[in-house]
Structure 1
Amino acid sequence: MPGRYPVDAGEAELLRDLDRPGGWLLSMAGVPQSYVDLDDPTYLDFEYVRLMADVIDVIDEGPLDAVHVGAGACTLPRYVAATRPGSRHIVIDPDAALVALVREQLRLKSVPRLKVRIADGRVGATGLHDASADLFVLDAFSGATMPLDLATAEYMGDVARVLKDSGTLLVNIADGKGLAFARRVVATVRGTFRHVALLAEPGILRGRRFGNLIVVASPAPLALQALTRRAAGGLTQARCVYEDELVNFVAGAAPIRDGDSVIAPVPPPELFE
């Protein structure tokens, strides 16, 4: 049912999409967090989620063992379950009340082979087996900001432990003018993974407006040409930045380590109006 619901992190709101009978928007403190179409899980409304799906779609065919840090309405687990039958999902999120809301109101139980662990991203990752994941999705936000302890070199080292040698990491970053935070996160990921790329809409890449950037990383070579074509050909018309161009993007920014004083970017208030 549409409405406002108390959750551990404050208040969540569910809004029905009047244009799509199965469409629902989940917001937290006025910030849109997830969109799901219960009738068509392959429909992805948010631009950055479509970019993540582009990456998933170029991974070798077949079911995936996936880890998702940050639950929301479980948009990507639903997408992967629909496009790659037989996939297994571990979803990690600290907000038990939010998970219960999504389970009750947005048919989470209908997603096959999905398990939820109530824990923060750091603690939840420590309990995962070595070399157990084909896909690791890091899309965790507290309000509109990424928890800093999930952006450090120490955490990336634990993610690398969990990923298979052919596994893929996806990280959703939000940043704006100057992209100082995004540059440091990319530097952090590059310090752990040999193969890294960045996907974003050109205006966001130039720091002209606040928005989402997707970091893609793997111990194995990425399908860069396929990613470039998909990103450019989609509704978002994003760019794929890698190799020397990615080095220029980082511009000598330092990796983030546990205990560093880092200010996570906050979107301008008018962004969600």
Structure 2
Amino acid sequence: MAGRVELVPDPGRADGWTLLADGVPQSYVDLADPEHLEFGYVRQIARVLRSHARGGVPESVLHLGGGGLTVPRLVARWWPGAAQVVVELDADLVAMVLREIPPERPVEIVVGDAREAVERAATGGYDVVVADVFAGAATPAHLGTVEFAREVRRVLRPDGLLIMNVTDVPPMAFTRIRVATVAAAFAEVGLLGDQAVVRGRRAGNVIVLAGRVPPLRMSRDERLLREGELVVFSGGARPWMDAKR
């Protein structure tokens, strides 16, 4: 996470905190209630996790990107026995979060590069990988290639799931490339997001899913693109490879 980071208390909730990077909200944490999720895309990630767990409670989760540890806190609340590893590049951010808003349950935190951590990880070691890594407003280039996606597939168990947060602006060109890139490594891919964002009507977050994509109940304002719809969405976008980064 690049830029100056700070934790700001929520005047409306006694235990609420917002993590800002250069004044822009990055994470929200409620220390008393990890299930209170302020950001829409985080609520979508939470629903995906719940749905995926119907096929088996996750025993191990790898988080790429730490932020305020919002999702790790949620996983710890729902599945206390799950082993969790968080990889975060910013050592100062990690120190601040652990000092000011430490998680209720201990979480293993590795300070380092997300790709290097994945490449060192054991094959089939994780049920879920949650990727939420940004340098400014964009995902680092080395985390957006086919080779990286293949490494993520390697560390996932056969019925595992990748959950990747992506931010984009109309006409969603970056997301189309990201979908094509992940689809080059995984047989099953989905794209979850608000209708207006998926259709390229406004900027926002979408969630790329890959692996054992669970069935999800959509609200009228959401879309989950799969199979043919996702092929149409990608529109012939070419996957990114390491050599072209």
Say yes or no: TM over 0.5: yes
Name 2:93's counterpart in structure 1: 98
TM-superposition CA deviations, 1:32-79 (whole Å, max 9, x none): 111010000011110001111111001224243000000001110000
Per-residue deviation, 1:146: 1.0
Residue in structure 2 matched with residue 68 of structure 1 by the alignment: 63
Say which SS state the counterpart of residue 77 (structure 1) adopts: helix
Q: Kindly report structure 1 stretches of 4+ aligned residues shifted beyond 2 Å.
A: 60-64
What is the correspondence of 1:155-170 to structure 2 with a 5 Å cutoff?
Answer: 155-170=148-163
**TM-score with structure 2 setting the length:** 0.95
| SS of equivalent residue, structure 2 residue 72 | helix
Check the 8 A contact 1:176/1:209 in 2, yes or no. yes
Say whether residues 1:251 and 2:242 are aligned partners. Answer: no
Q: Following superposition of structure 1 onto structure 2, how do residues 113-192 of structure 1 map, counting pairs within 5 Å? A: 114-192=107-185
Which digits, 9 at most, give the CA deviation of each residue in 1:194-251, with x for residues without a partner?
1111001011111111100101110x4x323xx1x1x327xxx321111110110001
Aligned to 1:223: 214
Residue deviations 1:122-145, cap 9 Å, x none?
A: 111122111010000110011221
- Name which of 199, 203, 219 aligns with 1:232: 219
1:10 offset after TM fit, Å? 3.7
Distance in structure 1 (CA, Å) of the matches to 2:108 and 2:84:
6
Q: Distance in 2 between matches of 1:252 and 1:9?
A: 32
CA contact 2:84–2:108 (8 Å) conserved in 1: yes
Task: Could you tell me which runs of 5 or more consecutive residues in structure 2 were left unpaired when the two chains were aligned.
Answer: none
Could you tell me the TM-score, scaled by structure 1's length? 0.86
* One-letter amino acid of the counterpart of residue 49, structure 1: V
CA-CA distance at 1:16 after TM superposition: 1.0
Q: Tell me, yes or no, if the aligned pair for 2:62 and 2:86 is still in contact at 8 Å.
A: yes
1:121-180 CA-to-partner distances (Å, cap 9, x unmatched) read 111112211101000011001122111110100101110110000100001010011111
Helix, strand or coil at the partner of 1:157: helix
- What's the RMSD between the two structures over aligned residues? 1.4
Q: 1:107 aligns with which of 87, 102, 115?
A: 102
